[in-house]
Structures are given as C-alpha cells and as structure tokens.
Structure 1
Amino acid sequence: MTCSQRRAHCGVGGQPHLRGRMILSGIALLATALLLGGMVFFAVAVAPLVFTRLPPDQAGRFIRQVFPLYYLWVLGLSAVAAVALWPLRLWDALSMAAVAALTAWLRQGLMPRINALSDAAQAGDAAAKGRFDRAHRLSVILNAAQMLAALVVLLRFA
C-alpha cells in the first residue's frame, strides 16, 4: 500500500493515520500515567514522610524547595498529555490542558501566597494563620481535583 493509499484508507482531513494515532496514544498514556503516579507518590509518600521525619522548620524549608519542581513535573506532563490527546480525544485533551493551566497558577500565584502567609504566621501574625490554612486547604483541594482529572483520563484508556 502506498503512502497516499494508506492516508486514504486511514483518514485525512486533520486525523492522523493509524500509526500516528497509536504513537500519540502511547505518548498520552505514558504522560498521564507518569503524571498521576508522581502526584500520588508525592501526596501519599513524600509529603507525609518529610513532615514526620524532619523537624517542622526543616520540613517547611525542604517542601518549599520541592514544590516548584513538583509543579514543573505536573505542568510538563499534563501539557504533553494535552498535546498528544488533542487530535485523539478533545475532552481529555482539554482536561489535561486545564490541569496544566491550573498548575501554572498554583505554582506562580498560590504557592508564593502560601509561603508569604506561612512566614507571616510564623512571625506571629494571627490573622495570617487563618488565611494560610484556607489557602493551603484550597491548594490541597485543587491538587486532588487535578489527580481526579488525570485518573479519569487514564481510566478512559482502558
């Protein structure tokens, strides 16, 4: 079968041919699996271990160094998944794009605010403690929503 016959057989007009679809699907599956696996590992192993094994001041400093890298991991893999899914499954691609966009805001917007509120609370600002708790709770909820989105996309590969 020639290339033009294969394209006619497998579809054109914006749809990648079968081999291309398989490659994109494999990339999306790998990126989504690594994304969810990394997020779950961080949430259930790394963060709890840090806060149970290190003194509170060291744990806080360590987590502040890890979170920017964690967010880059989530941002990169969700963006790769979104791009790979775009020609295959639009809603899954949009879901992963939303995870990436939310991660950018969490990393560049909410994380610095949480750090500043934590510093203020440790310096004795009682009002900052309540605001820190709310901002931290929001970040946990949004992270859980991102994990759920990744899980749904991953399960749709089954």
Structure 2
Amino acid sequence: MMFEISLLVTALLFGGTVLYSFGFAAFVFTALPADVAGPLIRRAFPRFYLFVLASSAVAAAVALAFDPVSSAILTAIAVTTILARQVLMPAINNATDQGAKKRFKVLHSLSVLITLAHIGAAAVVLVRLAGY
C-alpha cells in the first residue's frame, strides 16, 4: 500500500506541476491583461509552492520505506521548493516592484529552471517506481 501511495502522490506532483507551469500560468498571461495577470500569478505562486512542497515531502516520506533513492530525489524537490518559495519568489517580486527588469529576468529564469528540474526529477521517480 505504501508503494501505491508514493506512486500516486508523485504522479500528482508531476501532473500538478506540469499543469500549473504549462497550463495555468501560460493561460493567465494570454487570457488577461498584464496588469491583471501579474498580480494573479503573484497570489497563486505561494500556494503552488506549498502544493509542490507538501506532495514531494509526503511522497519522499512514503518512498523511504522501499526506495531510498526516490525518497532522496523527492526530498531534494521539497528542499529546493522551500528555497524557491522563501528566497527566490520574494526576490522576484522585489525586482518586479523596483522595475529591475534585468534582475527580474535572471531570477525568473532561475525559477523556471528549478521548476523544470522538479518536473524532470518527478518524472525520474515515476519511471523508477514504474519498474517496481
């Protein structure tokens, strides 16, 4: 039963992250004016990061019983999510508020790379679990 829980929570992490990144966020910026889309995304991101943190932490804890490597990968997702939420996101918001476009671009690019790494890492875990 623990295996199935880990598999389902990891699948939720993977699917939710992909949907948010390539679905919701992209849709908001194409469907709404920038002055509305920006504040909406700013309000949504803390909740997105909590979702990633909670799902990766739960999956890591459950996977520890049968796959320490997958557990370590999921733990790395959780830890980097804390850093992204508590350090990177406020820095991005600060850059936006100050009109520092170059700094925003660098920080936002880092945020995108972290999210892509999370998606890739969750995919690795799904493939590992599929082999069980």
2:61 paired with 1:89 = no
User: In structure 1, what is the Cα distance between the partners aligned to 2:35 and 2:83?
Assistant: 26
What residue is the counterpart of 2:84 in the other structure? 106
Aligned ranges 1:97-136 → 2 under 5 Å:
97-121=75-99, 128-136=100-108
C-alpha RMSD over aligned residues = 0.6
Structure 1 residue runs without a partner (length 5+)? 1-22, 122-127
TM superposition score normalised by structure 2:
0.96
1:129 is displaced (CA, Å) by 1.0
Aligned ranges 1:1-158 → 2 under 5 Å:
23-121=1-99, 128-158=100-130
Structure richer in helix, relative to its length: 2
1:101 is displaced (CA, Å) by 0.4
1:57 is displaced (CA, Å) by 1.0
The structure with the largest alpha-carbon Rg is 1
User: In structure 1, what is the Cα distance between the partners aligned to 2:57 and 2:121?
Assistant: 13
1:157 is displaced (CA, Å) by 1.8
Query: What per-residue deviation string (whole Å, max 9, x for no partner) do you get for residues 84-140 of structure 1?
Result: 01121111100000000000110111000000101111xxxxxx2111100000000
1:27 is displaced (CA, Å) by 1.1
Runs of 4+ displaced beyond 3 Å: none
Structure 2 residue runs without a partner (length 5+)? none
RCO (CA 8 Å, sep 6+): is it higher in 1 or 2?
2
State the AA in 1 paired with 2:83. Answer: W
User: In structure 1, what is the Cα distance between the partners aligned to 2:48 and 2:84?
Assistant: 11
Count of matched residue pairs = 130
Report the 3-state secondary structure (helix = DSSP H, G, I; strand = E; otherwise coil) of the residue aligned with 1:88: coil
Identity of aligned residues (%): 45
TM superposition score normalised by structure 1:
0.81
State the AA in 1 paired with 2:52. Answer: V
